[in-house]
């Protein structure tokens, strides 16, 4: 392993290839324990006699677990030592798989608690994986490769879940556990590979700042020093997460409304095309060496994504583009706007502000708020507008998010521009560690 570490230190190319592959596969495998249940419809479930749809109840249960996981992750991920990450990743995912195994053994409605327990550990995986990648000169490339899992993995694991139900005859309630079982060994291999990644080099630290664990006092002081800008970003991410999660969880219903519900490969079809567009758009961010300019550019990329999903929806409603084209353009816009918050934006913020901290803290503040947005949109759809079709509600939500999130991102850009030009003041210098 020492020779591997030495080789990766000497070659940026092989570092990119190795780190991207290990991180991508680790997070890809995690999706097999989180998302396959959304491929089923659960139209007839013994013991479920409530007005709310059983699948909606499952999504809510898991999202509440995921939300709590994000809140816990503010502390756990930001304080996690590098030597503990790999063990923690594997243990958390295996806990989620155990919940999936017990899920079909417990009658409805009591099995909802198992989906809550399934989501509870999984919300911390992203931060733990990205901790291996942040603070490097090539973090944008590594983050772009990792972020593609958001797009590709969800579609692929649902395709596998559908295959298990349709072709292999696996009952819907057992399908999630079977899907997770397929990915246990690949997960183990990828986590071990990720654990061999060397820490950032001296050159990385010189350009991107040293990344250190942060205790509670340091986290609070950091937030207070940049509270207005962070608040703008957190609220905008809350809106974008709600839209992204609704699209992801109910994509099957939206495709059905568009007339493509019987195409088994439709998830993979859109996922691959969206991933290609997003990878090109976000991977280019590494070309910007100046941290302040890159931080501004992240805001502009987010605004570009917002414009893309907003305008493509207008074009679809006007009959200018077809349903498939709209879903690809909309998905690309959503992810171009959503992904920077999970890696590039906060990584560059720390570098631009010249502080020693870690991106995990900022990511998990945003994620906590983000899944509140996700729960809020889903609850409103279920109880506030049950008469609307999935498609109509989704289109209306897309317009709302485009307007509100776009305004908030512009507010953040104005605040940090003034701060970095010396027009705003912060309470005191931030020094952590």
Domain boundary among 176, 208, 240: 208
What pLDDT does 203 receive?
81
Instruction: Report the pLDDT value the prediction gives residue 268, as an integer from 0 to 100.
Output: 63
Q: Say if 118 falls within a structural domain.
A: yes
Q: Of the candidates 315, 339, 338, which has an alpha carbon nearest to the alpha carbon of residue 327?
A: 315
Residues near 267 by Cβ (< 8 Å), separated by ≥ 6?
A: 39, 154, 155, 156, 158, 159, 251, 252
CA distance 240 to 370: 7
Judge whether 3 lies within some domain. no
Indicate whether 1 belongs to any domain. no
Q: Please indicate, yes or no, whether residues 317 and 270 belong to a single structural domain of this protein.
A: yes
Are 244 and 373 in contact, with CB atoms under 8 Å apart?
no
If asked whether residues 198 and 216 sit together in one domain, one would say no
CA distance 222 to 430: 7
Residues 238 and 94 placed together within one structural domain of the fold = no
Cis peptide before 30 (omega within 30 of 0): no
Is residue 4 a part of any domain in this protein? no
Q: Is 416 a domain residue?
A: yes
Same domain, 144 and 221: no
The last residue of one of the domains, among 150, 175, 208, is: 208
The residue range of the domain holding 159 is 9-208
Q: Could you tell me if 344 and 282 are in contact, meaning their C-beta atoms sit under 8 angstroms apart?
A: yes
Co-location of 409 and 262 in the same domain: yes
Contact 263, 318 (CB under 8 A): no
Same-domain status, 267 and 166: no
Q: Which residue has the tokens 């990878």?
A: 279
Residue 431 maps to a domain: no
Judge if 262 and 183 occupy the same domain. Answer: no
Task: Print pLDDT tens along the chain (433 aa).
Answer: 556 666 676 678 888 899 999 999 999 999 999 988 988 888 888 889 888 889 889 988 998 898 899 889 888 888 888 889 999 999 999 999 999 999 999 999 999 999 999 999 999 998 899 889 887 888 778 887 888 787 778 778 888 998 899 889 999 999 999 999 999 999 999 999 999 998 888 887 777 766 667 777 888 888 888 989 999 999 999 999 889 888 877 777 787 888 876 665 666 667 777 777 777 777 677 678 888 998 999 999 999 999 999 999 999 999 999 988 898 889 889 988 998 887 778 888 888 888 767 777 788 888 888 878 888 887 888 788 777 887 889 999 999 999 999 999 999 999 999 988 864 554 444 444 4
Tokens of 247: 């699209």
Q: Is residue 253 within 8 Å of 55, Cβ to Cβ?
A: no
- Statement to judge: residues 350 and 246 lie in one domain: yes
Q: Is residue 2 part of a domain?
A: no
Domains contained in the chain, number: 2
Domain boundary among 149, 180, 208: 208
**DSSP assignment, residue 280?**
H
Neighbours of 397 (CB within 10 A): 21
Co-location of 44 and 89 in the same domain: yes
Residue 154 sits in the same domain as residue 244: no
CA 175, CA 171: separation in Å to the nearest integer? 6
Q: Which tokens belong to 27? A: 């997070």
Tell whether 280 and 139 lie within a shared domain: no
Identify the burial level of 129 via C-beta atoms within 10 angstroms of its C-beta, where 0-12 means exposed, 13-18 middle and 19 or more buried.
buried
Sign of the dihedral through C-alpha 266, 267, 269, 270: positive
Cα 422 to Cα 418: distance, rounded to the nearest angstrom: 6
41 with 190, same domain: the answer is yes
- In this prediction, residue 350 carries a pLDDT of 84
Query: Is 429 inside any structural domain?
Result: no
CATH of the domain at 175: 1.20.1250.20
């Amino acid at each position: 392993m020492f020779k591997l570490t030495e080789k990766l230190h000497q070659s940026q190319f092989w570092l990119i290839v190795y780190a991207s592959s290990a991180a991508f596969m680790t997070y890809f495998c995690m999706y097999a324990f989180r998302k396959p249940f959304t491929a089923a419809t659960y139209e007839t479930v013994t013991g479920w006699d409530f007005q709310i749809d059983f699948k909606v109840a499952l999504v809510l249960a898991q999202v509440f677990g995921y939300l709590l996981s994000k809140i816990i992750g503010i502390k756990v991920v930001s304080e996690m030592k590098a030597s503990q990450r790999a063990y923690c990743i594997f243990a958390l995912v295996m806990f989620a798989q155990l919940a999936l195994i017990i899920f079909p053994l417990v009658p409805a409605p009591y099995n909802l608690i198992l989906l809550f327990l399934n989501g509870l550990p999984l919300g911390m995986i992203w931060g733990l994986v990205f901790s291996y990648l942040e603070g490097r000169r090539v973090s944008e490339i590594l983050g772009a490769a990792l972020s593609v899992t958001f797009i590709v993995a969800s579609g692929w694991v649902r395709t596998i879940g559908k295959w298990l139900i349709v072709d292999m005859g696996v009952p819907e309630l057992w399908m999630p556990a079977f899907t997770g079982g397929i990915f246990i060994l690949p997960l183990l291999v990828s986590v071990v590979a990720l654990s061999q990644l060397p820490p950032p080099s001296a050159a990385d630290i010189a350009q991107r700042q040293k990344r250190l664990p942060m205790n509670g006092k340091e986290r609070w002081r950091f937030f207070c020093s940049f509270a207005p800008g962070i608040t703008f970003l957190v609220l905008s991410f809350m809106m974008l997460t709600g839209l992204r999660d609704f699209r992801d969880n109910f994509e099957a219903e939206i495709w059905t409304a568009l007339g493509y519900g019987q195409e088994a490969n439709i998830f993979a079809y859109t996922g691959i095309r969206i991933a290609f567009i997003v990878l090109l758009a976000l991977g280019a961010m590494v070309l910007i060496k100046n941290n302040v300019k890159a931080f501004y550019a992240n805001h502009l990329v987010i605004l570009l994504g917002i414009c893309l999903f907003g305008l493509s929806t207008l074009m679809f409603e006007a009959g200018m583009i077809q349903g498939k084209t709209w879903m690809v353009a909309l998905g690309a816009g959503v992810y171009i706007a959503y992904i920077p918050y999970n890696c590039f934006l906060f990584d560059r913020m720390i570098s631009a502000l010249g502080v020693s901290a870690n991106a995990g803290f900022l990511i998990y503040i945003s994620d906590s708020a983000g899944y509140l947005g996700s729960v809020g949109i889903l609850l409103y759809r279920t109880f506030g507008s049950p008469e609307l079709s999935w498609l109509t509600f989704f289109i209306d939500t897309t317009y709302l998010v485009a307007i509100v999130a776009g305004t908030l991102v512009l507010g953040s850009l104005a605040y940090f521009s003034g701060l970095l030009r010396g027009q705003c003041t912060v309470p005191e210098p931030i020094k952590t560690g």
